[in-house]
Amino acid sequence: MPPSSHTDSPAGMSRRDFLSLAGRVAVLWGLGSSAVTSLAASIQALSTGRAPVLWLEGSNCSGCSISLLNSYPVLPLSVLTRHLSLQFHQTLSTIQGAPAVDLVNHTIAQGGYLLVVEGAVPVTIPSACRFGGENFGDHLQRAAQGASHIVAVGSCAAFGGIPAAPNNPTGAVDAISFLQSRGISKPFVRVPGCPPHPDWMIGTLVHLIQYGMPPLDSQLRPLKFYSKTVHSMCPLREMEDASPSGPPGCMEEYGCKGPSTYADCVSRGWNGVATSCLHSHAPCIGCTSQNFAQSSFHHWPVAQ
Ligand code: SF4
Ligand code: SF4
């Protein structure tokens, strides 16, 4: 008998509930009402385990998982924690210890799952991150072999992020480069951000289940979410340059990375409302970029 997943059955969710959720996902992707019925089937597949998701965490802070929990109104918290059949999720699953390892190994043996990776892979000190007594890199490689698709969520898994920042004592690298160095070739998607917007994660997973690979840019990021610069949507764009003691304004002079950073966070808004770093008058630190945290350019001067 297979080890039990942490998730409940989708009891309590009606077809109307799935259609309602599907309507929100359709809006997220800019799809018309004709897509709602098939999207509802995808979400139902996620909730019943017919589209299993294995979510592994390497060197990270779990911030992407916390962001996922903020996916309201697209997917409310109760749907994520009670109804989505995440076969295993290191932060959200209540199962621990040997049963958790058994569940992961059983899922890997079954194959055919979407593998989500959150966090970088320590290479110089492989034992810096372990799961079930196995170094994370070896564990990830084993899990990758049975995956249908592999999604690197967050800038640590996508590009190395903060664990790979200089001087990088553990030799952390991004999950996709690591797997490619081990000879793994799979459909890969990067969903960077520190953290990524919940829509980017949910939208990518549902698209993979329903339609397969979304259109990607040259860095394997879904074009839907990463095709425009932060600068092009910035509410401060038409304002005068900011000054330390003056009113809010453009912060390019102070190193804002909006002009070279691709993400729709400003127009999408965080926490279900129209807010973002720039709406809060904080500069963009380029958290979706490949070079995020890789140079001292991102180290902001501290007021004395
Ligand atoms: S604050 Fe940054 S993103 Fe906004 S207009 Fe200035 S440079 Fe562009
Ligand atoms: S504005 Fe820049 S730093 Fe802020 S979430 Fe968007 S990409 Fe990341």
Among protein residues, the one whose CA lies closest to atom 8 of ligand 1: 231
Q: Does any ligand 2 atom lie closer than 6 A to the CB of residue 135?
A: no
Residues with beta carbon inside 6 Å of ligand 1?
230-231, 234, 236-237, 250-252, 256, 258-259, 278, 283-284
**281 noted as active-site residue:** no
List, in sequence order, every residue forming a beta bridge with 149; answer none if it has no partner: 114
Flag whether pLDDT at 302 surpasses 50: no
167 touches 125 (CB < 8 A): no
Domain count, the chain: 2
Burial class (CB within 10 angstroms; exposed 0-12, middle 13-18, buried 19+) of 146: middle
Provide the pLDDT confidence category of residue 97 given band limits of 50, 70 and 90.
confident
228 CA → ligand 1 middle, Å: 13
Residue 276, domain extent? 228-304
Residue 215 lies in a domain: yes
CATH number (domain holding residue 206): 3.40.50.700
Residue 4 lies in a domain: no
**Pair (195, 237) in one structural domain:** no
Flag whether pLDDT at 132 surpasses 80: yes
Cβ-based neighbour number of residue 55 at 10 Å: 24
Provide the pLDDT confidence category of residue 80 given band limits of 50, 70 and 90.
low
**Pair (197, 251) in one structural domain:** no
**What's the maximum distance between 2 C-alpha atoms anywhere in the chain?**
66
Tens digit of each residue's pLDDT (9 = 90 or more) over 107-121: 899 999 999 999 999
**194 noted as active-site residue:** yes
222 secondary structure, DSSP code:
B
**Pair (191, 248) in one structural domain:** no
For β-strands 86-89 and 113-118, DSSP reports them as unpaired
Tokens describing residue 116: 């989500």
> Considering 200, 225, 250, which residue would you say is the last residue of a domain?
225
**Pair (165, 215) in one structural domain:** yes
Q: Does any ligand 2 atom lie closer than 6 A to the CB of residue 276?
A: yes
**Pair (282, 189) in one structural domain:** no
What is the arithmetic mean of pLDDT over 51-77?
Answer: 84
Tell me the backbone φ, ψ of residue 296, rounded to 5 degrees: -70, -5
Cβ-based neighbour number of residue 245 at 10 Å: 5
Evaluate the CA torsion angle 29, 32, 35, 40 in order and state its sign.
positive
Tens digit of each residue's pLDDT (9 = 90 or more) over 224-271: 999 999 999 999 998 888 877 778 899 988 889 999 999 999 999 888
Q: What is the pLDDT of residue 299?
A: 47
Q: What is the pLDDT of residue 53?
A: 86
Q: What is the pLDDT of residue 92?
A: 74
Nearest to 65 by CA among 157, 145, 173: 157
Provide the pLDDT confidence category of residue 78 given band limits of 50, 70 and 90.
low
Residue with the larger pLDDT of the pair 15 and 144: 144
pTM of the model: 0.89
Nearest to 141 by CA among 100, 99, 185: 185
Average pLDDT, the chain: 86
158 touches 192 (CB < 8 A): yes
> Considering 176, 194, 225, which residue would you say is the last residue of a domain?
225
299 CA → ligand 1 middle, Å: 17
Structure-token match 């070079």, residue found:
291
Provide the pLDDT confidence category of residue 85 given band limits of 50, 70 and 90.
low
**Pair (22, 161) in one structural domain:** yes
Rounded Cα distance between 117 and 300, Å, is 29
Provide the pLDDT confidence category of residue 84 given band limits of 50, 70 and 90.
low
Residue with the larger pLDDT of the pair 155 and 29: 155
Nearest to 196 by CA among 274, 263, 277: 263
31 touches 225 (CB < 8 A): no
Tens digit of each residue's pLDDT (9 = 90 or more) over 8-63: 334 567 888 888 888 888 888 888 888 888 888 888 777 776 778 899 999 999 99
Question: In sequence order, what are the residues at sequence separation of 6 or more whose Cβ sits closer than 8 angstroms to the Cβ of residue 46?
Answer: 53, 84, 85, 205, 206, 209
**Residues constituting the chain:** 304
Tens digit of each residue's pLDDT (9 = 90 or more) over 164-213: 999 999 999 999 999 999 999 999 999 999 999 988 998 898 889 888 99
| Chain CA centroid to CA 72, Å | 15
Nearest to 3 by CA among 57, 45, 40, 54: 54
Flag whether pLDDT at 2 surpasses 70: no
Rounded Cα distance between 82 and 10, Å, is 8
Stated as kind and residue range, the H or E segment containing 117 is strand 113-118
Residue 7 lies in a domain: no
Tokens describing residue 245: 């003691």
Catalytic entry in 83, 156, 298, 299: 156
**Pair (292, 190) in one structural domain:** no
Rounded Cα distance between 3 and 159, Å, is 33
> Considering 172, 195, 225, which residue would you say is the last residue of a domain?
225
